[in-house]
Amino acid sequence: MPTADDRTGGAAYRPPIDLGTDRAHPARIYDVFLGGKTNYAADRAMADAVAEKMPTVKTAAVANRQFVLRAVRHLAEEAGIRQFLDIGTGIPTSPNLHEAAQEIAPEARVVYVDNDPIVLAHSRALHVSNPAGRTTYLQADFTDPDTILDAPELHDTIDLTQPVALTMGLLLHWIDPKDEPHAVVRRLVAALPLGSYLMLSVFARELAGRSASLHDDFAAEGTALRSLGRDETLAFFDGTELVEPGLVPPHRWRPDTVVTDIGTPAGGGLDDTAAPVWAGVAVKRAVTVPSPRADDSRRD
């Protein structure tokens, strides 16, 4: 067997990476729903199982993607954000986050973070920055936030003394409760300066209906999935102030700025249960206020 000292093509031998293509992976399942090609038989099989219990899942995936792009464009154009830290990046799907940001501000800088080596390979090939800005990919895990915050790739790209948008689209419902996702988000937000933003979307328990039983399907694959209640989701925003319209299904977040270049238009007429997702954007201010829980519910 080769050792670490063996040479192949002038480089030290590295053991092969297990890409896990025989097991369904959330990022690649999402790629299926967005019509991508970076997925495998196990991902497509699980996607079919999901669609059986959630027939509107492709609509939900597009609605979430459109929310992300609208939110990023809002952050770049109206909030003046020029730095983005995107955790749980997933398979690149054009338009990517950096394309949306750099369309408004070519100098915008983006750090993409994911723990899937397949995402790494495709990100390096497809996350091509505008020459005036910069994009970097970091292979790291949300559950170990210090490996993200201490990474040289992060500090070479983003200045943590200036406002940053921390974005996590459809990530947090994949995190096992034992990994304390609320504490991790607090740690990440605490590392960002005042004037930074938090943007996230999660699988919504109140809107899930029978698709909530997908928990069991993914558990059988060894993947933790759980829908999150509204109050659980609002707790991620503690210490920040939600911007209008608050925490809402993705197609109801500023639908007047419709994104039409990735599929079905967002449209305010979409039934909320067709896109069972909570989505929101919040700002970290000098004087923080509690996340609006009761008052915000009327906006739905």
pLDDT of amino acid 130: 66
Identify the sign of the CA torsion 111, 174, 206, 43: positive
Cα 43 from chain centroid (whole Å):
18
Give the tokens for residue 116.
Answer: 């899937």
- Residue 111, pLDDT above cutoff 90: yes
pLDDT in tens, 142-183: 999 999 999 999 999 999 999 999 999 999 999 999 999 999
User: pLDDT tier at 16 (50, 70, 90 boundaries)?
Assistant: very low
Q: What is the pTM of this model?
A: 0.82
Q: Are 53 and 211 in contact (CB under 8 A)?
A: yes
- Span 121-147, mean pLDDT? 79
- Span 56-61, mean pLDDT? 90
pLDDT of amino acid 8: 37
pLDDT of amino acid 260: 45
SS (H, E, C) 22-83: CCCCHHHHHHHHCCCCCCCHHHHHHHHHHHHHCCCHHHHHHHHHHHHHHHHHHHHHCCCCCE
- How many Å apart are CA 144 and CA 207, to the nearest integer? 30
**What is the per-residue DSSP string for 215-274?**
HHHHHHTT-----B-HHHHHHTTTTSEEPTT-SB-GGGSSTTS---SSSS---TTS-GGG
- Residue 6, pLDDT above cutoff 70: no
pLDDT in tens, 223-269: 778 889 999 999 999 999 999 999 999 999 999 754 444 444 445 56
